[in-house]
């Protein structure tokens, strides 16, 4: 990652994985466009990057039209984005028996609409240029429906399925597609959740793994390997067996957290 002409756009870049990945890419010679709602936090991240490597673009990805328009405008201004990372997301826990429609719009707007708008905004342009890389930050929760996480698991399964279909369609176009499926990463989002979080990864470690996957143009980047192996094996369980095991896990909280 030493090509100074390359430009990446990262949503949810005001903290956590997004900020750590921005610092990692900028340290490797990339120019990085930082997108999120919180202007002051974005500016602080930009100041932590090497001089001239960071650009701030306030953006709420829950407004899909605005998100797509912003990504396209930036693409025009930089002469073509090389990398788009749909990282913005929200999490929350709620027992399914208490889940209502009123709980759903914000998470769907950010995790589904926001990711979709970000990832598809300049896909046709990348295909026309014959180069580019689309990255979506999904989750281990995409593998199966986790207890107390019906909406979150579903939203991340959407992202992973979207990325897989895009990868199939874009094979041979010069545009790579990478699905990042982290386990628990220490961020403000996980700090707000009251539940067991084994194999916790620090943001800088997560960013290093993601950057390596980007460099290798990997299809799927899942980490840490211990948790990835465990969760993948759960997909092989019959539904009845998985259901019994999952019901034994009863997360003790229902906190909700924004970007």
What whole-number distance in Å separates Cα of residue 11 and Cα of residue 223? 20
Count how many Cα atoms sit within 13 Å of the Cα of residue 202 in the half-sphere of its side chain. 3
**Out of 30, 143, 152, 223, which one is annotated catalytic?**
152
Structure tokens at 138: 């999904």
Q: At what angle do helices 16-27 and 39-47 cross, to 10 degrees?
A: 30
CB 110 within 8 A of CB 152: no
CB 177 within 8 A of CB 219: yes
What whole-number distance in Å separates Cα of residue 9 and Cα of residue 155? 22
Residue keyed to tokens 């499926």: 181
CB 108 within 8 A of CB 155: yes
Catalytic status, residue 152: yes
Per-residue H/E/C for 237-248: CCHHHHHHHHHC
What whole-number distance in Å separates Cα of residue 115 and Cα of residue 62? 9
Sign of CA dihedral 221, 227, 230, 231: negative
Q: Report the number of secondary-structure helices (H) and strands (E) in the chain.
A: 11, 9
> Torsions phi, psi of 135, nearest 5?
-130, 130
Looking at the annotation, which residues are catalytic? 152
């Amino acid at each position: 990652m030493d090509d100074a002409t390359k430009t990446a756009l990262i949503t949810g870049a005001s903290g956590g994985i997004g900020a750590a990945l921005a610092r990692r890419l900028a340290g490797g010679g990339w120019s990085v466009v930082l997108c999120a709602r919180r202007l002051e936090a974005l500016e602080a991240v930009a100041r932590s990057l090497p001089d001239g490597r960071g650009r701030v673009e306030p953006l709420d990805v829950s407004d899909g039209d605005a998100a797509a328009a912003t990504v396209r405008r930036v693409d025009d201004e930089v002469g073509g984005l090389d990398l788009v990372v749909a990282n913005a997301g929200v999490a929350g826990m709620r027992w399914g028996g208490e889940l209502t429609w009123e709980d759903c719009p914000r998470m769907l707007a950010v995790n589904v609409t926001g990711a979709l708008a970000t990832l598809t905004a300049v896909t046709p342009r990348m295909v026309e240029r014959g180069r580019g890389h689309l990255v979506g930050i999904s989750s281990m929760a995409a593998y199966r429906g986790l207890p107390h996480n019906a909406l979150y698991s579903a939203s991340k399964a959407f992202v992973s399925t979207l990325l897989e279909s895009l990868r199939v369609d874009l094979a041979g176009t010069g545009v790579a597609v990478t699905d990042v499926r982290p386990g628990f990463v220490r961020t403000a989002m996980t700090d707000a959740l009251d539940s067991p979080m084994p194999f916790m990864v620090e943001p800088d470690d997560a960013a290093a793994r993601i950057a390596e996957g980007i460099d290798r143009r990997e299809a799927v980047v899942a980490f840490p390997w211990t948790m990835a192996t465990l969760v993948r094996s759960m997909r092989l369980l019959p539904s009845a067996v998985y259901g019994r095991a999952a019901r034994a896990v009863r997360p003790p909280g229902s906190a909700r957290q924004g970007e």
